[in-house]
Amino acid sequence: MTVFPAIDIMRGRCVRLSQGKADAETVYYENPLEPAEAWLESGARWLHAVDLEGAFEGRPVHLHVLRALVGLGFHVQWGGGLRCLADVESALNVGAKRIIIGTQACENDAFLYELVQAFGPRVAVGIDAKAGKVAVRGWVDTSSLDALHLAKRVCDLGVETLIYTDIARDGMLDGPNIMAQKIMLDAVPAHVIASGGVGSLEDVKALAALKQTHPNFEGAIVGKALYEGRVALDEALPIMA
């Protein structure tokens, strides 16, 4: 298991959105490399990074930031606007350790299957849920597709890693939806990374406890809690180790 510090990039800056809303943006750093360098010193080796403009526009915008993060020495799982093979290849060629497919995983089984066949475990699917239904296009639209149904479908296509986000909890610091994560972990054979709601070390401990009953639990993404000093990364990483 591990903690994945989160970097969301908008207009070149490191921001956080509350519940994925573009009009609920808080800028934490003008330069995304600044928190990344601090986290590297704290012992992080993985980063979860999202090109928010890419997610909204449907194409990568900030691959230069990905290149810089990889240059620091991180394994980066990267998402946002990866909706064609050429853009996926660009992100992998720049150095992404793992790419995250969201909208296209919901809408295009053939494309996802092609990616899994080509890149295997370097392909993860982000399943972002509002009241159990999958949100797409940077969380702007909510589909009628059930999150668990999508999870099982993409696992049948060979996906080995899922990132499961409860949008209602994202950026709110009021605790992760542990029950929803348990249900997801029970439903699929894939590794699952939890996202959304972590606001304290107690939340990190509650998520880490999932490993005792669910061997496919891989870790948790932590964002706003790090930026606002509610969680110290050097304390959180050993809990998830």
Residues designated as active site: 8, 128
Q: Are 223 and 236 in contact (CB under 8 A)?
A: no
Q: Are 198 and 225 in contact (CB under 8 A)?
A: yes
SS3 81: coil
The owner of tokens 């999202």 is 50
- To 10 degrees, the CA torsion angle through 21, 26, 30, 32? -60
| Beta strands 46-51 and 2-10, pairing class | parallel
CA distance to 66, 224, 228, per residue, from 99 (Å): 11, 22, 27
